[in-house]
Copies of this chain bind each other. A is one copy, B any other.
Amino acid sequence: MRPVSIIGVGQTPVGEHWQKSLRELAVEAVQAALADAGVERPDALFAGNMLSGGLCEQENLATLVADFSGFPGIEALKIEAACASGGAVVRAAHMVVASGAHDLVVAVGVEKMTDLGGDGVTSGLATAADADYEAAHGITFTALNALLMRLYMERYGYARRDFSPFVITAHENGVHNPQAMFREAIDEKDFLDSPMVAEPISILDSSPVCDGAAAVVLCPTEKARSFTERPVQILASATATDTIGLGPRKDPLWFESAYLSAQRVYQQAGVSPKDINFFELHDAFTIVSALSLEACGFAERGQGVRFAQECNIHRNGKLPISTQGGLKARGHPVGASGTYQILEVVDQLRGRAGEAQLGNVRIGMAQSIGGMASVAVTHLLGVEV
């Protein structure tokens, strides 16, 4: 595979965009990314999205976005991998540029979740589960994650309050991100007082329903410096799947897809977890953060929560996570979140993260998870020296 780099990024703020449509969000991010890269016209556009058909009655989404971005004619395809769609679209674009089929590809993740209100969104999100054997029984993703969190607490002897560091850290970091949905710090009392959604998951264990779009521009590494002084190389990318349902798994507390995709990128890049400077993980729920840290080799089994309690995840810790708020505080427009993660890793590596900037970072990891970790897409990015 020929090496590929990211030469530009663009995003909309994350929030409830009552004045902007699905297409407007996507086009805004695409145009910002192309402007950042200094690219007038891409060769292809890939759109990562989960719910446009169900919530916005719009398929053929990539064609729409290519058209309204001003590029009818170019290749355009939509990539779907549930809540990992935003990572998957960059993974797909990476392979396409590596193949030589195109040189300049823009990958945009976009989701518009707020127009339908709560029930529509809950049903829409449930399409990431097994429609016949899980969703048909009425179980939601919050309920499924509540089962995992309860089991984790019982097996490893944690209380609900032990999960608070994930949320406090995410909100603390979100304060410094002008694009984040929630820019206010919270404390442990806020977390403990938070209303229950599906016990033991409270509102503050959960990422919000919201809208947003993020885009990145990819090109062959050998051409990257003709566009920007600060390209960021895709050191590795990988997708892995697991059973779509929780039922058939030997151990529901093991995220095999997160493990496999992390192992694949470590192997591709010749690195190990200790080489990773920071990690944009899929903190859709606090339990997902804990299990992701374990699956990716940053914490032993049952120690993901302890890893957070020991301050390792803080911006000055051993492995900063959710450095610009994460899914929890930046927000989780599902099909866009994975692209936001990659954009944030790029910003950190380019030294452009503003008040959220970490010191001395060389390799960042982003992992986007779909369904009950039935699919995971992981990227390793690095500065070129």
Contact = CB atoms under 8 A, between A and B. Distances in A.
A214 interface: no
Interface in A78-114: 78-82, 88, 91-92, 95-96, 98-101
Interface stretch (A128-136, A171-179, A192-200, A201-209): A128-136
Contacts of A21: 132
A277 interface: no
B64 A130 contact: yes
Interface string A220-260: 00000000000000000011111111000000000011001
Given A53-B53, A80-B61, A73 B375 contact: no
B77 A80 contact: yes
A62 interface: yes
A63 B131 contact: no
Provide the main secondary structure of the chain A interface.
mixed
A36 interface: no
A139 interface: no
A51 interface: yes
A67 interface: yes
Contacts of A242: 63, 67, 72-73
A242 B72 CA distance: 5
Interface string A30-72: 0000000000000010000011011011111111101110011
Contact of A77 (B75, B81, B129, B374): B81
Total identical chains: 2
Contacts of A74: 240-241
Contacts of A51: 53, 59
A58 B371 contact: no
Contact of A57 (B75, B80, B135): B135
Contacts of A256: 72-73
Contacts of A100: 1, 98-99
A162 B311 CA distance: 76
A76 interface: yes
A127 interface: yes
A313 interface: no
Contact of A72 (B23, B50, B243): B243
A356 interface: no
Given A63-B374, A92-B92, A96-B95, A54 B54 contact: yes
A370 interface: yes
A64 B374 CA distance: 9
Given A58-B131, A67-B245, A79-B80, 10 more contacts: A53-B124, A63-B81, A63-B374, A73-B240, A74-B241, A76-B81, A76-B239, A78-B79, A80-B80, A92-B92
Interface of A: 1, 21, 23, 44, 50-51, 53-54, 56-64, 66-68, 71-82, 88, 91-92, 95-96, 98-101, 123-124, 126-132, 135, 238-245, 256-257, 260, 370-371, 374-375
11 contacts: A53-B124, A57-B135, A60-B81, A60-B244, A63-B374, A67-B245, A67-B374, A73-B257, A78-B80, A98-B100, A99-B100
